């Protein structure tokens, strides 16, 4: 009996020693794995990241502003400078202006007395207002400031009385106030005369916003105009 108890005791002791060694092994293994995980950086994820194409180079803000602004031209193109009529006989591209109540001047495209085909502009007074004017408004590019603009064209008159006929150049600011003008004051068309070429010039002020170009009859008679052109000369 004592032998059995002793054998059982020895077996229990052996199992205890074995478990003790096993716990040491497990603890060492756990410590080693922890140390390795602390020292070794995690493996990078293998999920593919979608590639996004770089956007195309965009123009700078200054470049975009310059693109929107019209480039300066040495020649300013008038609309319908030869006064060609539309199907209703109106002169497209030109605005008819009369002083006061109006109804004193007629503005027509005249093919019968034209200097060049198909017609010339004709202004005739039949009422009491002092002037009638055909004009165009042209936006001023900043690069035109302090430069000189020239308007040229051919004029003809019959029985013109009073102030006479003229080419017209005018510079206005953004509110419509007149800054400078040239109404051909010293070389007006008067009486009766055949076609003659005229030119007038105007220096564009620094604050000019628009140019007014046209042909005008002051007082009585009939005035014709043709082949108008406008340009910067410096």
CATH for the 72-232 domain, from 3.20.20.70, 2.60.120.260, 3.40.50.300, 3.20.20.210: 2.60.120.260
Instruction: In whole angstroms, give the CA distance from residue 208 to residue 148.
Output: 12
pLDDT in tens, 149-195: 999 999 999 999 999 999 999 999 999 999 999 999 999 999 999 99
Which DSSP string corresponds to 79-102? SSTT--B-TTS-BTT-EEEESTT-
Domain range annotation of the chain: 1-42, 72-232
pLDDT in tens, 90-141: 899 999 999 988 899 999 999 999 999 889 999 999 999 999 999 999 999 9
Residue 101's pLDDT is 85
SS3 for 189?
Answer: strand
User: Residue 91: which of 101, 81, 99, 100 has the closest Cα?
Assistant: 81
pLDDT in tens, 49-102: 445 444 444 445 544 443 444 445 445 789 999 899 888 888 999 999 999 888
Residue 51's pLDDT is 52
Residue 63's pLDDT is 42
Instruction: In whole angstroms, give the CA distance from residue 71 to residue 63.
Output: 13
Which DSSP string corresponds to 106-119? EEEEESTT-SSSS-
Asked if the model's pLDDT at residue 12 lies above 60, the reply is no
pTM recorded for the entire structure: 0.68
Is 96 or 33 the better-scoring residue by pLDDT? 96
Asked if the model's pLDDT at residue 16 lies above 80, the reply is no
């Amino acid at each position: 009996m004592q032998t059995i108890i002793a054998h059982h005791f020895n077996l229990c002791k052996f199992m205890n020693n074995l478990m003790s060694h096993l716990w040491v092994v497990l603890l060492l293994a756990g410590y080693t794995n922890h140390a390795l995980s602390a020292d070794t950086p995690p493996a990078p994820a293998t999920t593919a990241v979608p590639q996004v194409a770089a956007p195309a180079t965009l123009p700078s803000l200054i470049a975009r502003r310059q693109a929107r602004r019209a480039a300066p031209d040495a020649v300013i193109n008038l609309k319908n400078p030869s006064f060609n009529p539309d199907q209703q006989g109106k002169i497209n591209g030109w605005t008819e202006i009369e002083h006061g109540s109006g109804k004193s001047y007629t503005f027509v495209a005249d093919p019968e007395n034209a200097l060049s085909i198909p017609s010339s502009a004709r202004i005739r007074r039949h009422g009491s207002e002092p002037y009638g004017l055909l004009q165009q408004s042209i936006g001023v590019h900043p690069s035109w400031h302090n430069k000189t603009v020239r308007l040229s064209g051919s004029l003809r008159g019959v029985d013109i009385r009073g102030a006479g006929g003229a080419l017209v150049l005018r510079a206005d600011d953004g509110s419509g106030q007149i800054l400078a003008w040239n109404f051909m004051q010293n070389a007006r068309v008067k009486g009766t005369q055949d076609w003659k070429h005229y030119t007038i010039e105007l220096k564009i002020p620094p604050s000019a916003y628009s140019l007014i170009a046209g042909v005008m009859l002051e007082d009585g008679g009939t005035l014709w105009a043709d082949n108008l052109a406008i340009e910067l000369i410096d």
